[in-house]
């Protein structure tokens, strides 16, 4: 008999004390765990209640949510535990949390396992806490954040990963990578986190379209793998924080970063959509002013660091007239990197006067802040030369700072707050070479062997959190010389993330195409450089995704150019909400000599938008079959370039398609599909 623990909306946690069996469900998925009579805490099953898919654990490889090591002590599926407490509680934004408190029978540690499930999401979120019960300090040197092993059912599996940005821009940036698992146990790897190679996400599906996805909420470098052992009949995940050596004092508790696992049935677009809905509902920092976000922004880097008050004022006048919402002053405003005071030669009236002028024009004011860097001649390093990290990176000649060194962190938090107040800042463009520095100094307050974890959780996360708590109305944008920290911890602190760093139209579309598998469209911010020119092909390349950032020197525009750009901005604004809230369909991947297509379907409004782009060469037209429409609904189809208008049912559109003219290389169009009003 099951004894109900707690029901909240559609989510419920149940506990059977006779079998020590926990069941967490929400109508979408169900997960069961058991403390066996022998004392082993094991995963039993995760089921997709919508599709009927079942993921059973393998009898050949018992699996536990607990997998960590403290010095030489390993706690996993082979460790015997005693149950000391269990309870369930409701959580926001609508869900249930099941907590299970275990103590290993040898009295070395207390392990707290936490499961969370939220209404209308096919995701189980989970984490561990390790409490050191010994008299001496221990060191956590291994954790598996994705501790799942499932019976393979005799199926073959394909894994999907997505590259993140590389500082040295290349075609592989944000490329989706599909790999068929071999059955001999060879691992498919995801090397994620700040300065990593892939986004912190992976999806897996079998030959029957039964799928799961997983993501980890950690900004440091992590190696995650999946492999299939066909001879033993299982698929196994593993996710380790690299170079982990975190000290835990006696009777102190260590929190393992949260991770999540979700289920889907179908293609990779379905995996992405279910991930994104969970991210927006549970993890992501709420977007500012939902009706006017993602923003159209202007960034001063078109002038590089050759900026001054008069240049910015002239551009602000044009930006406001065009409909720009956010005006960002990039690198070059300060006396130097790490000396975060406005350059008095450039701003004789103070940078606050520029900010006030921008505000008077009806725009928000943003400021570039490379918080983890400082020039060697900056006052902070002249006075505190030991505050640097041992990381070999360099950012415009500036040295890396170790943010998990407490004195450095305290100074930086105060500088951030002062800067925001003094210059009336609404938006922070956080930039730098690597947000999670490597540091082996024994003179700092972190363990010299633990800088990956320390400079993530106790470094960049702690600094940003402290500034945001002090100034909660300032929004932050993640940038690491491009989208080089695409993680599910990042989304909790930043309302968007750069994906392409002023690299042009084709790389912008490539970035959006890849990153919108794991991340919601608003986390696909694109910077449009002056080198793109002003053409429909260029502006359409920035139509789909998050904030659109202009870098063109606006004061140099002709009246015709300004009029064209103003129209394009209005088009973007009229569509951004539907795109941001819709399901992304990845139709054709961008290529230098190809046609690419990306589509969004918004179920709430029953509308779809697709951007169809012909690059260097390809056919003069493309037969586009949209996805996700209501088959019985009749729709109106219209374009921004082609004058054709169609009226067809969803079934007709999805099966027969619509031919989109692309008469010459570097041409494009935007298709709109709207329900026909009766």
Domain ranges of the chain: 3-283, 294-581, 585-675
Q: How far, in Å, CA of 268 to CA of 619, rounded?
A: 27
Q: Is 50 helix (H, G, I), strand (E, B) or coil?
A: coil
Q: What is the DSSP letter of 285?
A: P
Task: Report whether pLDDT(537) > 90.
Answer: yes
In whole angstroms, give the CA distance from residue 158 to residue 213. 12
The per-residue pLDDT for range 481-493, each reduced to its tens digit, is 789 999 999 999 9
pLDDT band at 618 (very low <50, low <70, confident <90, very high): confident
**Whole-model pTM?**
0.96
pLDDT for residue 170: 67
**Average of per-residue pLDDT across 88-92:** 95
pLDDT of residue 5: 65
Bridge-based pairing state of the strands 234-241 and 246-248: unpaired
Mean predicted confidence (pLDDT) in 622-638: 97
Please give the class, per CATH, of domain 3-283.
Answer: mainly beta
The tokens describing 678, both together, are: 């009766």
Whether residue 294 is preceded by a cis peptide bond, meaning omega within 30 degrees of 0, is yes
pLDDT 10s digits, 258-302:
999 999 999 999 999 999 999 999 999 999 987 899 999 999 999
Tens digit of pLDDT for each residue in 360-413?
999 999 999 999 999 999 999 999 999 999 998 899 999 999 999 999 999 999
Question: How confident is the prediction for the chain on average, in pLDDT?
Answer: 96
- Contact, 55 vs 212, CB < 8 A? yes
Q: For residue 178, is pLDDT > 70?
A: yes
Residue 172, beta-bridge partner list: none
Q: How many percent of the chain have pLDDT more than 70?
A: 98
Residue 650 neighbours by CB distance under 10 Å = 21
State the DSSP string of 433-466.
Answer: S-SS-----TTSSS-TT-HHHHHIIIIIHHHHHH
Q: Which pLDDT score, from 0 to 100, does residue 393 have? A: 87
| φ, ψ of residue 301 in degrees (nearest 5) | -70, -10
User: What is the per-residue pLDDT across 343-353, written as a single tens digit (0 to 9) for each?
Assistant: 999 999 999 99
pLDDT of residue 495 exceeding 90, the answer is yes
Name which of 147, 127, 106 is nearest 253 in CA terms.
127
Question: How far apart are alpha carbons 143 and 240 in whole angstroms?
Answer: 6
Q: Which CATH architecture has domain 585-675?
A: Sandwich (2.60)
- How is residue 131 annotated by DSSP? E
Query: Residue 6: exposed, middle, or buried by beta-carbon count in 10 A (0-12, 13-18, 19+)?
Result: middle
The pLDDT-based confidence of 501 (bands split at 50, 70, 90) is confident
Q: Is the pLDDT of residue 4 over 60?
A: no
Q: Are 57 and 46 in contact (CB under 8 A)?
A: no
Which CATH number fits the domain 294-581, given the four candidates 3.40.50.720, 3.30.565.10, 3.20.20.70, 3.40.50.2000? 3.20.20.70
- What pLDDT, in 10s, does the model give residues 566-617? 999 999 999 999 999 999 999 999 999 999 999 999 999 999 999 999 999 8
Q: Calculate mean pLDDT across residues 315-337.
A: 98
Cα(194)–Cα(566) distance, integer angstroms? 36
Could you tell me what percentage of the chain is helix, strand and coil, using 3-state DSSP and rounding each to the nearest 5?
20, 35, 40
The H-or-E segment that residue 562 falls in is: helix 559-581
């Amino acid at each position: 008999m099951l004894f109900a623990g707690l029901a909240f909306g559609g989510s419920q946690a149940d506990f059977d004390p006779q079998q020590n069996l926990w069941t967490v469900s929400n109508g979408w998925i169900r997960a069961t765990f058991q403390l066996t009579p022998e004392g082993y805490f094991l995963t039993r099953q995760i089921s997709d209640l919508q599709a009927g898919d079942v993921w059973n654990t393998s009898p050949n490889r018992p699996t536990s949510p607990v997998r960590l090591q403290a010095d030489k002590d390993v706690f996993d599926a082979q460790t015997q535990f005693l149950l000391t407490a269990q309870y369930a509680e409701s959580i926001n934004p609508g869900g249930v949390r099941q907590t299970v408190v275990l103590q290993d029978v040898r009295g070395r540690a207390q392990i707290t396992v936490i499961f969370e499930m939220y209404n209308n999401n096919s995701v189980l979120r989970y984490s561990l806490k390790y409490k050191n019960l010994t008299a001496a300090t221990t060191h956590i040197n291994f954790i598996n954040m994705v501790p799942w092993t499932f019976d393979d059912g005799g199926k073959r599996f394909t894994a999907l990963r997505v590259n993140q940005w590389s500082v040295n821009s290349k075609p592989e940036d944000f490329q989706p990578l599909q790999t068929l698992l071999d059955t001999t146990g060879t691992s498919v790897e995801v090397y994620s986190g700040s300065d990593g190679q892939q986004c912190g996400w992976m999806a897996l599906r079998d030959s029957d379209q039964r799928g799961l996805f997983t993501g980890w909420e950690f900004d440091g470098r992590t190696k995650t793998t999946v492999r299939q052992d066909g001879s033993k009949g299982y698929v196994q995940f593993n996710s380790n924080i690299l170079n982990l050596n975190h000290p835990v004092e006696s009777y102190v508790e260590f929190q393992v970063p949260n991770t999540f696992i979700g289920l889907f049935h179908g293609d990779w677009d379905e995996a992405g959509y279910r991930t994104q809905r969970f991210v927006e509902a549970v993890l992501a920092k709420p977007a500012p002013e939902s009706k006017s976000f993602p923003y159209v922004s202007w960034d001063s880097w078109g002038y590089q660091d050759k900026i001054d008050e008069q240049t910015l004022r002239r551009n602000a006048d044009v930006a406001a007239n065009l409909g720009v919402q956010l005006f960002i002053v990039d690198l070059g405003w300060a006396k130097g990197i790490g000396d975060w005071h406005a350059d008095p030669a450039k701003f004789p009236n103070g940078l606050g006067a520029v900010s006030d002028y921008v505000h008077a024009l009806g725009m928000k004011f943003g400021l570039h802040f490379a918080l983890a860097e400082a020039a060697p001649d900056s006052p902070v390093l002249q006075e505190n030369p030991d505050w640097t990290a041992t990381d070999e990176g360099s950012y415009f000649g500036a040295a890396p700072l170790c943010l998990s060194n407490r004195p450095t962190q305290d100074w930086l938090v105060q500088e951030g707050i002062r800067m925001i107040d003094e210059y009336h800042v609404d938006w922070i463009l956080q930039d730098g070479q690597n947000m999670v520095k490597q540091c082996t100094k024994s003179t700092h307050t972190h363990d010299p062997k633990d800088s990956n974890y320390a400079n993530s959780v106790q470094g960049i996360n702690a600094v940003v959190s402290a500034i945001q708590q002090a100034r909660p109305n300032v929004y932050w944008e993640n940038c690491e010389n491009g989208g080089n920290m695409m993680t599910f911890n990042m989304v909790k602190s930043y309302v968007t993330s750069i994906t392409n760093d002023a690299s042009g139209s084709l790389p912008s579309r490539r970035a959006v195409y890849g990153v919108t598998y794991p991340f919601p469209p608003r986390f696909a911010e694109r910077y449009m450089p002056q080198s793109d020119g002003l053409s429909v092909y260029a502006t359409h390349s920035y139509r789909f995704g998050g904030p659109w950032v202009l870098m063109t020197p606006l004061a140099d525009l002709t009246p015709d150019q300004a009029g064209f750009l103003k129209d394009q901005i209005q088009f973007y604004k009229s569509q951004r909400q539907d795109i941001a809230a819709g399901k992304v369909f990845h139709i054709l991947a961008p290529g230098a000599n190809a046609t690419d297509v990306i589509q969004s379907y918004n179920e709430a409004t029953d509308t779809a938008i697709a951007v169809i782009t012909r690059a260097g060469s390809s056919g003069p037209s493309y037969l586009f079959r949209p996805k996700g429409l209501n088959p019985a609904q009749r729709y109106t189809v219209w374009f921004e370039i082609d004058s054709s208008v169609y009226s067809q049912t969803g079934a007709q559109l999805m099966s027969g398609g619509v031919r989109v003219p692309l008469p010459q290389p570097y041409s494009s169009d935007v298709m709109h599909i709207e329900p026909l009003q009766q």
